[in-house]
Structure formats: C-alpha cells, structure tokens
Amino acid sequence: MATAEFMGKTFTVDEDGFIDAYENFCPEWVQWVKTQEGIEEITEEHERVVTVLQEYYEKNGIAPMVRILSKVTGFKLKHIYELFPSGPGKGACKMAGLPKPTGCV
Amino acid sequence: MPEGILCNKKTIDTKEQLDAILADASGNQYYEEMNHLDIDKVALWTTIRKTFKSRFKTWLEICAHCGLCAESCYYYLANNRDPKQVPSYKIKTTLGELIRRKGDVSNAFMQMCMDTAFAKCSCCTRCGVYCPFGIDMGIMFSYLRGLLFSQGFTPWEMKIGSGMHRIYRAQMDVTTEDWVETCEWMEEEWEDDYPGLKIPIDKENADIMYTLNAREPKHYPQDIAEAAVLFHLAGENWTAPSEGWEATSLTMFAGDWPACKMQVENVYAAMKRLKPKRVVGTECGHAYRATVIEGPYWAGIKTGQPPVENLHYVEWVAEVLRTGKLKIDPAKKIKEPVTFQDSCNYVRNAGLADIPREIMSYIAEDFREMKPNREHNFCCGGGGGLNGIGRYREERNIGFKVKRDQILATGAKLVVSPCHNCWDAIRDMEEIYHMGIKWTFLKPLLIDMVEVPEHLKPKEE
C-alpha cells in the first residue's frame, strides 16, 4: 500500500486513496482529503456529513445510501455534491475514513 | 482441508457472513487465507466434466497458435507486446492446463488462474472477432472464473458482490424499502423544476418498465431522477418495479453461476408480474449482457430471449429522438469535438453499433470516432469487474493506456459513455493520466439539450 505524508502524519492508503483502516482516521486526514478533493474550506456542513457517515458506518459496517445521508443531514442531493464534488460515495466516504465502497462505484 | 473464515468455498448467504467479509478492509485477511486454501480436486474435476462442453473443448483443441489474437488484445498492446499477454497463451496456460491435468492442480496454480482471469482479461471478447476460428477467450475466461469461484478463488470484492446479490438481489445493500424511498425522494427534489414528475412504481401493463444498476439508488440517485425526467418529457407511460429493478450481475463477473440464475430470474419475475410492453435498461453495459444476452440461458429459457422485449437505454434514446418524442434544441447541440465510447457488452456483443452513431448525429456538431471503433473498439480498460478490484489496480491502469491514447487521438475533450463501467474507467483514467477530458452519460447531456414542452414547464410565480 502507498503512503501519504501530511501535517506531520503518515497515512497508509489503498489503491484508490482511501485510508487503510478506519481506526487511523484523524483531523489531519480530513485536511489531507480536502487537498486531494480540491475542496476550498472545510465547513460545519462538511463536518456534519463526515459525522453522519461515521455514525452509520460504526453501527452498520458499510457506507449508507445517499438517501439516508440526505435525510439525517437535511442536505439536498445537489448540496451534498456542492460539498463533495466527486460525490458522496467517493469524496465524502474517503474524508470520513470509510473503506472504498465495493461494487460498481 | 483448510478453509478460511472469510476465504472459503462457501457462498455468502447471510448478513452475518457479509458483515464479516466487509469488515476485512481491502481483503487483507481474505487473501492471506486464500494462500492456505486447499483444492477439492474431485469436486473440481466433477464440475469440469459436467460443464466443459463441446464448444470450449473444440476451441482449446483447434487453436492453431497463429497469434492473430495477439494484436487484438489491449493488454498485449499496453504491456509492450509481452508474449505472455497473447490471449491464446493466457487461456492455454490456465483453463487448458487445468483440463489437461484433470483438475489436479495446486493453490499457486489456482491463484495464477485467478490473477490471469481477472487482471489479464476483462472478458471484452475482442479476440474472438479476430480469431480465424472465432475462438473467444473472453467467454472461456468467464467460464474459468466460475470454476475458480467454486473453489473459493475469487477476488475479495467479487465475493462480496456475489453475497450482495444473494442477500439483496442487488449488487449493493439496497432493500426494496430503500429503493422505493429513494424514488420518492428524487420526485420531491426534482418536482419544482419538473412539475408532475413521478416515478411510478409497480404499474401494470405500462409501455416501459425501467431497470437499473444498484449504484444508482445507493450512490448516484440523480441518475434515477434524470431517467424519470426524460421519460416524463417524452410522455412515456412507464414504471419501475419495486422488486426486480436491479439488472446488473456481479455474480456473472464473479462466476457464481447459481446466483446468476437467481438474480436474473428476479428481474424476469418483475417483467412477468407487471407485464410491460417493453423493458428499457439503464446506461449500463453488463446489465444488458446479464439480462438480455446471457440471462435467458441461465434461466433455462429455450427461446434464448428474456420474457419481454428489452432495449438498452441507447435504443430508447435513439427512438425518442428519431420520432420526435424528445426534441433537441438546435442551439444546444454539442459544439466541441466529442467522441463516443462503444461498450463491449452492447456494441460488440449485441450489435448495437449503429444506434450510438444515430444519437450522435442528433446531438453533436463535431462527432469524432475513435479508431478503431464500433465492434472493433477496445474495452475501456475496466470491464469484467476489474474497476472494482483493488488487487489489480496497477494492471488495470497499465491497460488504460490503450483507451487513453485512442481518446486523445480524436482530439475530443468530451467522451459520451452510456455504460457505468466505461464511465468509471474514463473518470479514473482522467484522474491518473490527466488527459484534460470530460466524460458523461447521455441522461444529463439530454436534459440540458431537450426542449421542454410548454405544458410541462414550471409555472412562473
């Protein structure tokens, strides 16, 4: 697996840039993904999405459907894409430290 | 006979099994267990004797080693014409050897077969077009995948995909309730712009029943909304089934034969239950292959046809543009150079090559063909499930070079790609090789280009 160094931390990432283990998630990881995803500034709304994804993942062991993400955050789909231009399944899951979703994504 | 906890010969049929394998991020434990997996040689040879029939036997025997398949294979071209990438070599040293040894093979041999069947062949079937005998290694590698799966040798993501289908009848964890609720949500979010927009569920005797790919409700629900908008604007009498909506089949890529049958029969049951005049499938290549080309045989339908006439999405688009049900605003046609990615699964394997050209003639002013194209086009580089398999990322990315160079040679900055897999491959290709291109499905393009009938426009406040 490749590694990425950022803000004094070394992250091990999979072939698609997702963190190797959820346990290794930290605030620096969020900043690293921000630079990778071309997101200008991390807002409270980004943090809200990350928290909802993590809470769901901790309970279910998998990323939620976008519908659930929208329902719990109250954000419309278009707004989720404004926050994470590469989409909820890619950018948002990556920032939250979730594994890459499997299947045709 | 060591069977791993995660990597074993059992299929995944329960949520507990699925949760356990999902928790093994990247399949680290799974692949470690695979190193110790024994081969049940008796069972393997029994399966071969039951399933290895005259066509494959003949193909393996009559290959004249002429080498004409070499240049047809994009892996051969992308890997500096490595002789080990010649299709006939690849199949002879895997399936051919497995047969010659009557299934008496080692763990290392089975892993070599798995690596070859998934990372040196995307089952694009291009070699079959160039072989003077019509020998199709892609079809044989699909068969080999089935033998490998029966012994527990399948990539981690494929095992998960197979389990998803077995549990959810979808390649992702989308239940009937999730699916229907997502449709309702998309209606709500889009009805301001398209008053009266509906996603009719389980309507009987509609003109069209629409089938999809689970990624759409799970990760890309806008695709569902866009399909609904275009049906709405075209005035179609359509529906989507509450069950049997998922037409893809990772079971096919994995080689889980019993689950291929289970999955496609679920889709056919929806066709029989709702009795639509026709079925239109989403912009997916392998869903078409699974439902229309291979499915009838899995389901044992003697006519070789699905229960209801099926159209790929491109066929529906060409039809509504041809008949004027959808009208393109001439001012909004694509002005920039644009090219089209022929999907192996519905162009080479189903003969739909004329259809995309017809569509491009309606929507583009500067359409540029890739060379070669139509039935001769190269795979996107991510087919056969390869996009979703982390273990073979490096091999996939090398294979991408052929498609990359084909796209760049057109000078086009936009690639129309009505296949989820091709779309993903081109997205990843851009991320890796920075080609400066964009890629798109047909649906969002059309929504930006079609004329909205006056009575369907939102009323001014």
Q: Which of B277, B292, B323 is the last residue of a domain?
A: B323
Q: Which of B153, B182, B210 is the last residue of a domain?
A: B153
The enclosing domain of B99 has a CATH number of: 1.10.1060
> Model confidence over B226-261: pLDDT tens digits?
999 999 999 999 999 999 999 999 999 999 999 999
- Within-domain flag for B456: no
Q: Flag if A105 and B178 touch (Cβ within 8 Å).
A: no
Nearest Cα to Cα of residue B321 among B281, B361, B277: B361
Residues B205 and B304 in one domain: yes
Residues B122 and B177 in one domain: no
Residues B263 and B376 in one domain: no
* Cα gap B272→B308, rounded to integer Å: 8
* Radius of gyration (C-alpha) of chain A in whole angstroms: 13
> In the structure, what pLDDT confidence band is assigned to residue B461 with cuts at 50, 70 and 90?
low
Q: Does A87 touch chain B (CB under 8 A)?
A: yes
Number of domains in chain A: 1
- Within-domain flag for B13: no
Residues B408 and B340 in one domain: yes
Q: For B181-250, give the DSSP string.
A: HHHHHHHHHHTTTSTT----BS-TT-SEEEEB-THHHHT-THHHHHHHHHHHHTT--EEB-SSS-B---H
> In the structure, what pLDDT confidence band is assigned to residue B459 with cuts at 50, 70 and 90?
confident
Q: For the whole prediction, is pTM greater than 0.95?
A: yes
Q: Flag if B157 and A77 touch (Cβ within 8 Å).
A: no
Residues B103 and B177 in one domain: no
As a residue count, chain B comes to: 461
B19, B25, B394 ranked by CB distance to A99: nearest: B25
Q: Which residue has the tokens 């001439």?
A: B330
Q: What is the model's pLDDT at position A1?
A: 81
Q: Does A7 touch chain B (CB under 8 A)?
A: no
> Model confidence over A32-73: pLDDT tens digits?
999 999 999 999 999 999 999 999 999 999 999 999 999 999
Nearest Cα to Cα of residue A103 among B153, B424, B243: B424
What integer is the mean pLDDT of B134-153?
97
| Chain B hits for A16, Cβ within 8 Å | 390, 393
Give the chain A residue nearest B189 (alpha carbons).
Answer: A76
Q: Does A70 touch chain B (CB under 8 A)?
A: yes
Q: Does A102 touch chain B (CB under 8 A)?
A: yes
| Chain A hits for B388, Cβ within 8 Å | 102-105
> Model confidence over B154-198: pLDDT tens digits?
999 999 999 999 999 999 999 999 999 999 999 999 999 999 999
- Within-domain flag for A101: no
Residues B261 and B296 in one domain: yes
- Host domain of residue A69: 2-95
> Model confidence over B100-141: pLDDT tens digits?
999 999 999 999 999 999 999 999 999 999 999 999 999 999
Q: Which of B278, B301, B323 is the last residue of a domain?
A: B323
Residues B238 and B285 in one domain: yes
- Host domain of residue B214: 169-323
Residues B128 and B177 in one domain: no
Q: Which residue has the tokens 């993942």?
A: A57
Q: What is the model's pLDDT at position B456?
A: 94
B/e letters for B176-206, b = 16+ CB within 10 Å, e = fewer, are: bebbbbbbebbbebbbeebeebbbebeeeeb
pLDDT exceeds cutoff 60 at B1: no
Number of domains in chain B: 3
Averaged pLDDT score across all residues of chain B:
97
Residues B200 and B318 in one domain: yes
- Quote the tokens at residue B340: 């089209």
> Model confidence over B311-342: pLDDT tens digits?
999 999 999 999 999 999 999 999 999 999 99
- Within-domain flag for B162: no
* Cα gap B344→B92, rounded to integer Å: 23
What integer is the mean pLDDT of B94-102?
98
pLDDT exceeds cutoff 70 at A75: yes
B179-to-B14, B56, B183 alpha-carbon distances in Å: 20, 40, 6
Neighbour tally for B106: CB within 10 Å: 11
Q: What is the model's pLDDT at position A104?
A: 87
What integer is the mean pLDDT of B21-36?
96
Which residues does B206 contact at the CB level (< 8 Å), separation at least 6? Answer: B200, B237, B238, B239, B274, B276, B277
> Model confidence over B441-458: pLDDT tens digits?
999 999 999 999 999 999
Residues B181 and B318 in one domain: yes
- Within-domain flag for B286: yes
- Within-domain flag for B5: no
Averaged pLDDT score across all residues of chain A:
95
Q: Flag if A104 and B218 touch (Cβ within 8 Å).
A: no
- Within-domain flag for A84: yes
The enclosing domain of A20 has a CATH number of: 3.30.1420.10
The enclosing domain of B199 has a CATH number of: 3.40.50
> In the structure, what pLDDT confidence band is assigned to residue A100 with cuts at 50, 70 and 90?
very high
| Chain B hits for A84, Cβ within 8 Å | none
Where are the alpha helices (H) located in A19-101, listed in sequence order? 27-37, 44-60, 66-73, 77-83, 93-95
Residues B308 and B351 in one domain: no
> Model confidence over B194-223: pLDDT tens digits?
999 999 999 999 999 999 999 999 999 999
| Mutation target vs A (from B218, B392, B397; most A CBs, 10 A cutoff) | B218
- Within-domain flag for B441: yes
Residues B75 and B102 in one domain: yes
What integer is the mean pLDDT of B352-371?
98
A70, A71, A104 ranked by CB distance to B213: nearest: A104
Q: Flag if B218 and A89 touch (Cβ within 8 Å).
A: yes
Q: Flag if B213 and A14 touch (Cβ within 8 Å).
A: no
